[in-house]
Amino acid sequence: MSTSAEKQVLALLAKEWDMTGPPGIMGISEIVAALPLAPTETLAAVKTLFERGLTDMNLLKTSVFLTPEGYEAEEANRG
């Protein structure tokens, strides 16, 4: 079960995926700035999504992007 914060992160990354193509990569600071959530809440959501395999990170852990499973999960959230 995804939290509201997790759904918001997935939606934002899916929007990036749709606009620029897979994998919808964004810097963590960009995600924090774009969402109306506390930074700690956003970072916790990013961590949970990573642990569930819905997102992945670059080697430096500064950028996040959707996995195909994450994009599918967001499509399911859209209805």
Count up the domains in the chain and report the number.
1
- Which residue from 59, 4, 14, 62 is spatially nearest to 36, judged by alpha carbons? 4
**What integer is the mean pLDDT of 65-79?**
92
Q: Which domain CATH number covers 17?
A: 1.10.10.10
pTM listed for this prediction? 0.94
pLDDT digits (tens, 9 = 90+) for 7-52: 999 999 999 999 999 998 999 999 999 999 999 999 999 999 999 9
Spell out the long-range contacts of 47-55 with Cβ–Cβ below 8 A and sequence spacing 24 or more: 48/3, 48/6, 49/6, 49/9, 49/10, 54/10, 55/9, 55/10, 55/13
> pLDDT band at 1, cuts 50/70/90?
low
d(CA 77, CA 29): 24
Structural domain harbouring 57: 4-78
